[in-house]
Structure 1
């Protein structure tokens, strides 16, 4: 990857008088697949819409392939968008749907149809060219929507939760195909989703969005292993990361990582994922088991520890505790994250 495929600098946007994006700075390298991840209402789709020119910005600049497009009309930005609903014309055949964008831009019909067939072959829907959308499955409609975006040869692909209407098995298949398509084309893609697994599997980098603000941008590994805020720590991970007061009942064991001493009582909290919890240490905090969920080889024990704090532990299913059991729990220091309890930002001593 080299150069900038897309850059947002200080971009703000409003809807019905309310600001929905707050000075967003985001750069997508040419050929990168960036996933914008966040809950409903975070402003994810608005990011795509301002890039496409479907919504105006109230501040900031947008550059695509090095060109300032902030004031340009949507048709001049050279982006393609795949919507959650696919937005196919029901009265047109597959090949007509794919070629439509070219034909309305006065591309000769034979040329447009040939490019449409090539795009359909690329995404694996070339055997469906004479069918209409009503005759297609969800996965097939998804492929047609991708081919329609691909045929225009855009500078940036914008994908607005394109997998959310598919069942789980097909979603898993399609995200693998989408990642393979990206790698094959070397295309610049911005993919929006609320699904953390989808983000972790697909992305070169992830931008976590909350209330119209960027919480963290990083590789999937960075987002998982070094969350910048308590929001990222809890949003990425299922079950969510445990968060407790730094001087709470569960005390880390083993050697503390450098710079992670937690001596500022009342100002810090520790976070640790369920797999970092140890059951049964002699010096652990007293806890009771509220419920246990078994998921294949793993089990998740939901515990209440002293002071009424909740903790989730991930253990092998064959070693799971019984509901109602009393036990002791600890956490490994090497797996502990430390955050400021007020701002939620990662602690930097």
Structure 2
């Protein structure tokens, strides 16, 4: 599949401080890439560089096979959806959606028809006569999406578009956004700090850390085979357990690992009664019940913390003694110096 968007060796600075460092990213035509990372990782700067709102200090940006590095924003054929919606309060929904077309001298009747078609695509056609002040947060987000859609861009850029919605609306809009992408076959880059949003929405995820790409992969790859300690900690709630390699022996007969860190997710942990043979002794510090599941927060003999995911109906009591085993195939080994994963799952 041809590239819808490519960043090759891109670096960028903000007020004299470099915030992106040699970023390589390729988004296939029709793909939904989610850029995930904590605040300050450079996620929004990636979008601004693609849109032409920030210049690059090194590297090239290509959209639909065209080098756009030196083109001004209006000539890049991208649409951006902002966290704040950025709707004009004095214009109707129809006028907000069609605004960009009229600025580009699209005839008014054609702009009106395209605005209605875009509104129907995102489910807000019944709102065309209203103004932004009369809309809920979810309705405003639909209008912002329709305004982006109506331009028929080569790439959609979405900068944390769901962050202003409450949890229930976020879940609903997540599903609608994914369905819209699948229906249009559009090339989208979606920025978020929300790992659940990334895992649910993405065809692939690019994890950013301090302006550098830490890992790119499918949601399953990011979850199951994190490339570094940073990804292991950032993706997952609770986060992956990380222990010194000499502090714990997983179940079975693993090869010796004299240094580095062992990483394993809470669901890879099995708990047994303290009188059971095998496993590592531990004490249950506390238990959190989340629906059918429970998370047991443990301290191993030796003082290392571990979190286990267990059925809520069979959860251990706080203060009880247990034995801990971990499935070795689910254990990752991370290099002590670089923090990178050095053995396959």
So what's the TM-score if we normalise by structure 1?
0.96
CA distance in 1, matches of 2:92, 2:29: 33
Superposition map of 1:20-99 within 5 A: 20-99=19-98
**Secondary structure in structure 2 of the residue aligned to 1:131:** coil
Q: Deviations over 1:305-334 (max 9, x none)?
A: 122211100000011111111222121112
The whole-number CA distance in structure 1 between the counterparts of 2:184 and 2:129 is 26
Give the corresponding residue for 1:13: 12
Q: Work out whether residues 262 and 268 of structure 1, in 8 Å CA contact, stay in contact via their aligned partners in 2.
A: no
Which whole-Å CA distance do the structure 2 matches of 1:224 and 1:91 have between them? Answer: 45
- Structure 1 window deviating more from structure 2 (267-276 vs 4-13): it is 267-276
- CA distance, structure 1, for counterparts of residue 85 and residue 115 of structure 2: 17
Partner of 1:106: 105
Distance in 2 (alpha carbons) for counterparts of 1:278 and 1:175: 33
Equivalent residue, structure 2, for 1:142: 141
Task: Number of aligned residue pairs: give it.
Answer: 341
**Corresponding residue SS for 2:91:** coil
Shift of 1:348: 4.2
User: Which SS does the other structure have where 2:25 is aligned?
Assistant: strand
CA contact (8 A) 1:142 1:162 kept: yes
Residue 296 (str. 1) matches residue 260 (str. 2) = no
Structure 1 stretches lacking a partner, 5+ long? none
Partner Cα distance (2:149, 2:158) in 1: 12
**Counterparts of 1:228 and 1:56 in 2: how far apart (Å)?**
30
Residue 162 of structure 1: how far off its partner (Å): 0.4
Which residue number in structure 2 is paired with residue 252 of structure 1? 250
Shift of 1:340: 0.5
- How do residues 58-207 of structure 1 correspond to structure 2 at under 5 angstroms? 58-207=57-206
Runs of 4+ that moved beyond 6 A:
none
| Kept in 1: contact 2:206–2:216 (CA 8 A) | yes
Per-residue deviation, residues 256-284 of structure 1 (Å, max 9, x unmatched):
4xxxx233x2x321100001111125222
Moved more, 222-231 or 154-163: 222-231
* Other-structure match for 1:314: 309
Which of 330, 333, 339 does residue 335 from structure 1 map onto?
A: 330
Q: Partners of 2:191 and 2:58 in 1: how far apart?
A: 22
**Distance of 2:79 and 2:336 partners within structure 1:** 42
Deviation at residue 255 of structure 1 after TM alignment = 5.2
Whether the aligned pair in 1 keeps the contact of 2:332 and 2:343 (CA below 8 Å) is no
Contact 2:51 2:76 (C-alpha < 8 Å) held by counterparts:
yes
State the alpha-carbon separation in 1 of the partners of residues 50 and 306 from structure 2: 41
TM-score normalised according to structure 2 size: 0.97
* Alignment-derived partner of residue 282 in structure 1: 277
Post-superposition Cα deviations, 1:140-194, rounded to whole Å, max 9, x if no partner, equal 0010000000000000000001011111111111111101100110000000011
The Cα shift of 1:222 comes to: 0.8
Which residue does the alignment assign to 1:262?
A: 256
CA–CA distance in 2 between the matches of 1:327 and 1:31? 50
Task: Tell me: CA distance 1:318–1:348, structure 2 relative to 1, closer, same or farther (3 Å).
Answer: closer
In structure 2, how many angstroms separate the alpha carbons of the residues matched to 1:44 and 1:58? 17
Structure 2 unaligned regions, length at least 5: none
**Retained in 1: the 8 A contact 2:282–2:299?**
yes
Deviation for aligned residue 1:289 = 1.3
Q: In structure 2, what is the Cα distance between the partners aligned to 1:217 and 1:341?
A: 22
CA RMSD, 1 decimal: 1.1
Describe the SS at the equivalent of 1:291. Answer: strand
